[in-house]
Amino acid sequence: MNSITSYAHIKHNQVSVNGTIVFQSGATALTDFLMEVYKAIGLNYPKFHKMDAQCKLGVLCTEYALQQTGFLESHSLQQTAIVLSNAASSLETDRQHQQSIADKSNYFPSPAVFVYTLPNIIIGEIAIKHKITGENAFFVSEKPDAALLVNYTNALFAEQTQAAISGWVEVDGDAFEAFIFLAENTENINKNTNFKPLNQITVIELYNQTKWMH
Protein backbone atom coordinates (compact mmCIF):
# COMPACT_ATOMS: atom_id res chain seq x y z
CA MET A 1 0.00 0.00 0.00
CA ASN A 2 1.27 3.47 -0.86
CA SER A 3 0.56 6.15 1.72
CA ILE A 4 1.08 9.84 2.30
CA THR A 5 2.97 10.02 5.58
CA SER A 6 3.67 13.74 5.94
CA TYR A 7 3.08 17.00 4.11
CA ALA A 8 3.92 20.69 4.28
CA HIS A 9 2.33 23.72 2.71
CA ILE A 10 3.76 27.24 2.37
CA LYS A 11 1.40 30.03 1.35
CA HIS A 12 0.25 33.49 2.50
CA ASN A 13 3.56 34.02 4.38
CA GLN A 14 2.80 30.98 6.53
CA VAL A 15 4.16 27.47 6.86
CA SER A 16 1.87 24.60 7.67
CA VAL A 17 2.98 21.06 8.53
CA ASN A 18 0.40 18.28 8.46
CA GLY A 19 -2.35 20.87 8.49
CA THR A 20 -1.06 22.93 11.43
CA ILE A 21 0.48 26.37 10.99
CA VAL A 22 3.97 26.28 12.49
CA PHE A 23 5.38 29.59 11.26
CA GLN A 24 4.06 32.91 10.05
CA SER A 25 5.73 36.12 9.05
CA GLY A 26 4.92 39.72 8.32
CA ALA A 27 7.63 39.96 5.67
CA THR A 28 6.63 42.05 2.69
CA ALA A 29 9.17 40.63 0.24
CA LEU A 30 9.49 36.97 -0.71
CA THR A 31 13.29 37.01 -0.23
CA ASP A 32 12.84 38.23 3.35
CA PHE A 33 10.16 35.64 4.04
CA LEU A 34 12.35 32.82 2.70
CA MET A 35 15.27 33.97 4.85
CA GLU A 36 13.02 34.04 7.92
CA VAL A 37 11.80 30.51 7.19
CA TYR A 38 15.41 29.35 6.64
CA LYS A 39 16.32 30.66 10.09
CA ALA A 40 13.12 29.36 11.70
CA ILE A 41 13.78 25.78 10.61
CA GLY A 42 17.43 26.07 11.70
CA LEU A 43 19.03 25.21 8.37
CA ASN A 44 22.79 25.63 7.94
CA TYR A 45 23.25 25.16 4.21
CA PRO A 46 25.31 27.93 2.52
CA LYS A 47 24.28 26.69 -0.94
CA PHE A 48 20.73 27.77 -0.08
CA HIS A 49 21.67 31.43 -0.54
CA LYS A 50 22.77 30.82 -4.13
CA MET A 51 19.42 29.38 -5.18
CA ASP A 52 16.65 31.27 -6.89
CA ALA A 53 13.47 31.93 -4.90
CA GLN A 54 11.60 28.97 -6.34
CA CYS A 55 14.32 26.49 -5.37
CA LYS A 56 14.55 28.02 -1.90
CA LEU A 57 10.80 27.60 -1.52
CA GLY A 58 10.91 23.97 -2.69
CA VAL A 59 13.86 23.09 -0.46
CA LEU A 60 12.29 24.73 2.61
CA CYS A 61 8.89 23.12 2.09
CA THR A 62 10.57 19.72 1.66
CA GLU A 63 12.56 20.28 4.87
CA TYR A 64 9.37 20.94 6.79
CA ALA A 65 7.66 17.86 5.32
CA LEU A 66 10.70 15.72 6.21
CA GLN A 67 11.10 17.04 9.75
CA GLN A 68 10.80 14.33 12.40
CA THR A 69 9.73 11.67 9.90
CA GLY A 70 12.69 9.32 9.39
CA PHE A 71 11.54 9.21 5.73
CA LEU A 72 15.02 9.42 4.22
CA GLU A 73 16.44 6.82 6.60
CA SER A 74 13.65 4.31 5.91
CA HIS A 75 14.25 3.90 2.18
CA SER A 76 17.07 3.54 -0.29
CA LEU A 77 17.89 6.96 -1.70
CA GLN A 78 18.22 5.24 -5.10
CA GLN A 79 14.58 4.19 -4.79
CA THR A 80 13.35 7.58 -3.64
CA ALA A 81 11.72 9.67 -6.37
CA ILE A 82 10.97 13.36 -6.69
CA VAL A 83 7.92 14.46 -8.70
CA LEU A 84 7.11 18.16 -8.81
CA SER A 85 4.97 20.51 -10.83
CA ASN A 86 3.95 24.13 -11.23
CA ALA A 87 2.32 26.50 -13.70
CA ALA A 88 4.97 29.15 -14.25
CA SER A 89 7.91 26.84 -15.00
CA SER A 90 10.96 29.02 -14.17
CA LEU A 91 9.36 32.25 -15.39
CA GLU A 92 10.47 34.44 -12.49
CA THR A 93 14.14 33.59 -13.02
CA ASP A 94 13.69 33.72 -16.79
CA ARG A 95 12.59 37.34 -16.33
CA GLN A 96 15.66 38.12 -14.24
CA HIS A 97 17.91 36.61 -16.89
CA GLN A 98 16.11 38.50 -19.64
CA GLN A 99 16.62 41.79 -17.79
CA SER A 100 20.36 41.13 -17.58
CA ILE A 101 20.62 40.76 -21.36
CA ALA A 102 18.04 43.35 -22.44
CA ASP A 103 20.49 46.26 -22.64
CA LYS A 104 23.28 45.53 -25.12
CA SER A 105 25.43 48.26 -23.58
CA ASN A 106 25.11 46.73 -20.11
CA TYR A 107 25.16 43.07 -21.08
CA PHE A 108 26.20 40.98 -18.08
CA PRO A 109 24.18 37.75 -17.93
CA SER A 110 24.80 35.97 -14.66
CA PRO A 111 25.74 32.27 -14.95
CA ALA A 112 24.39 31.78 -11.42
CA VAL A 113 20.98 33.08 -12.54
CA PHE A 114 21.03 31.27 -15.87
CA VAL A 115 21.40 27.84 -14.26
CA TYR A 116 18.01 28.36 -12.62
CA THR A 117 16.16 28.97 -15.88
CA LEU A 118 14.70 25.46 -15.88
CA PRO A 119 12.07 24.38 -13.34
CA ASN A 120 13.47 20.90 -12.78
CA ILE A 121 16.43 22.45 -10.98
CA ILE A 122 14.15 22.51 -7.92
CA ILE A 123 14.29 18.72 -8.06
CA GLY A 124 18.07 18.93 -8.50
CA GLU A 125 18.54 21.09 -5.42
CA ILE A 126 16.40 18.81 -3.24
CA ALA A 127 18.19 15.74 -4.63
CA ILE A 128 21.65 17.23 -4.03
CA LYS A 129 20.82 18.28 -0.49
CA HIS A 130 19.55 14.84 0.48
CA LYS A 131 21.68 12.71 -1.91
CA ILE A 132 18.53 11.33 -3.57
CA THR A 133 19.25 9.54 -6.85
CA GLY A 134 15.92 7.93 -7.75
CA GLU A 135 13.48 8.72 -10.54
CA ASN A 136 12.38 12.28 -11.07
CA ALA A 137 9.98 14.28 -13.20
CA PHE A 138 8.77 17.86 -13.38
CA PHE A 139 5.40 18.72 -14.92
CA VAL A 140 4.02 22.09 -15.93
CA SER A 141 0.26 22.29 -15.49
CA GLU A 142 -2.16 25.19 -15.30
CA LYS A 143 -3.02 24.59 -11.63
CA PRO A 144 -2.16 22.03 -8.95
CA ASP A 145 -3.22 18.75 -10.54
CA ALA A 146 -3.65 16.06 -7.90
CA ALA A 147 -4.51 13.38 -10.45
CA LEU A 148 -1.34 14.02 -12.46
CA LEU A 149 0.91 13.90 -9.39
CA VAL A 150 -0.78 10.86 -7.86
CA ASN A 151 -0.98 8.86 -11.09
CA TYR A 152 2.66 9.47 -11.97
CA THR A 153 3.87 8.83 -8.44
CA ASN A 154 1.85 5.61 -8.22
CA ALA A 155 3.23 4.53 -11.59
CA LEU A 156 6.74 4.91 -10.18
CA PHE A 157 5.78 2.81 -7.17
CA ALA A 158 4.75 0.07 -9.59
CA GLU A 159 8.42 -0.11 -10.62
CA GLN A 160 11.43 0.24 -8.32
CA THR A 161 10.38 3.33 -6.35
CA GLN A 162 9.73 2.85 -2.64
CA ALA A 163 9.27 6.47 -1.60
CA ALA A 164 8.55 9.80 -3.26
CA ILE A 165 8.63 13.51 -2.57
CA SER A 166 5.83 15.02 -4.62
CA GLY A 167 4.02 18.30 -4.95
CA TRP A 168 3.71 21.81 -6.26
CA VAL A 169 6.32 24.58 -6.06
CA GLU A 170 5.64 27.91 -7.70
CA VAL A 171 6.91 31.48 -7.66
CA ASP A 172 5.48 33.96 -10.14
CA GLY A 173 6.00 37.62 -9.32
CA ASP A 174 4.79 38.26 -5.79
CA ALA A 175 2.70 35.09 -5.74
CA PHE A 176 4.20 31.94 -4.27
CA GLU A 177 3.06 28.57 -2.99
CA ALA A 178 4.60 25.21 -2.20
CA PHE A 179 2.79 22.01 -1.25
CA ILE A 180 4.95 18.95 -0.70
CA PHE A 181 3.79 15.51 0.38
CA LEU A 182 5.85 12.45 1.22
CA ALA A 183 4.59 9.18 -0.21
CA GLU A 184 5.87 5.79 0.89
CA ASN A 185 5.29 2.14 0.30
CA THR A 186 4.00 1.35 3.79
CA GLU A 187 3.40 -2.36 3.37
CA ASN A 188 6.30 -3.26 5.62
CA ILE A 189 6.06 -0.28 7.94
CA ASN A 190 4.12 -0.28 11.20
CA LYS A 191 0.81 1.29 10.37
CA ASN A 192 0.34 4.77 11.73
CA THR A 193 -3.13 6.20 11.99
CA ASN A 194 -1.89 9.44 10.44
CA PHE A 195 -0.96 7.69 7.19
CA LYS A 196 -3.35 8.48 4.36
CA PRO A 197 -3.79 6.47 1.16
CA LEU A 198 -1.96 7.93 -1.83
CA ASN A 199 -4.84 8.91 -4.06
CA GLN A 200 -6.31 11.98 -5.69
CA ILE A 201 -9.00 12.54 -3.04
CA THR A 202 -6.46 12.49 -0.23
CA VAL A 203 -4.13 14.93 -1.96
CA ILE A 204 -6.98 17.39 -2.57
CA GLU A 205 -8.13 16.99 1.04
CA LEU A 206 -4.63 17.62 2.43
CA TYR A 207 -4.06 20.55 0.05
CA ASN A 208 -7.19 22.20 1.48
CA GLN A 209 -6.58 21.12 5.07
CA THR A 210 -4.80 24.19 6.46
CA LYS A 211 -6.89 27.00 7.88
CA TRP A 212 -4.74 29.94 6.84
CA MET A 213 -4.69 33.04 9.03
CA HIS A 214 -5.75 36.25 7.31
Partner 1 sequence: MDALIEKLKGQIIEQLNLVELKPEEINPDSPLFGEGLGLDSIDALELIVLLEKHYGIKIEDPKDGKTIFQSLRTMAEYIKSQGKG
Concatenated DSSP letters for 102-166? H-GGG----HHHHTTSSTTHHHHHHHHHHT--S-EEEEE-SS--HHHHHHHHHHHHTTT--EEEE
Nearer to partner 1, 94 or 205 (CB): 94
Number of residues in contact with partner 1, rule: CB under 8 A? Answer: 9
Distance CA 212, CA 208 (A): 10
Output the smallest distance, CB 121 to partner 1, in A. Answer: 12
User: Between 50 and 143, whose beta carbon lies closer to partner 1?
Assistant: 50
Among 42, 102, 104, 108, binds partner 1 (CB under 8 A): 108
**Burial zone of 91 (CB within 10 Å; 0-12 exposed, 13-18 middle, 19+ buried):** middle
Q: How far is the CB of 114 from partner 1 (least distance, A)?
A: 9
Q: Binding of partner 1 at residue 191 (CB under 8 A)?
A: no
**Residues 110-149 vs partner 1: string with x where CB under 8 A?**
xxx--x----------------------------------
CB 183 within 8 A of CB 4: yes
Q: How far is the CB of 115 from partner 1 (least distance, A)?
A: 6
- In the complex, minimum distance from the CB of residue 98 to partner 1, in angstroms, rounded to a whole number: 17
Q: Is 46 a residue that touches partner 1 (CB under 8 A)?
A: yes
Q: Which is nearer to partner 1, 53 or 203 (CB)?
A: 53
DSSP reduced 3-state for 73: helix
CB of 109 to partner 1, least distance (A): 8
Say whether residue 49 binds partner 1 (CB under 8 A): yes
Name which of 166, 146, 169 is nearest 156 in CA terms.
166
**Strand pairing partners for 168?**
85, 179
Query: In sequence order, what are the beta bridge partners of 170?
Result: 177
- Residues in contact with partner 1 by CB under 8 A are 46, 49-50, 108-112, 115
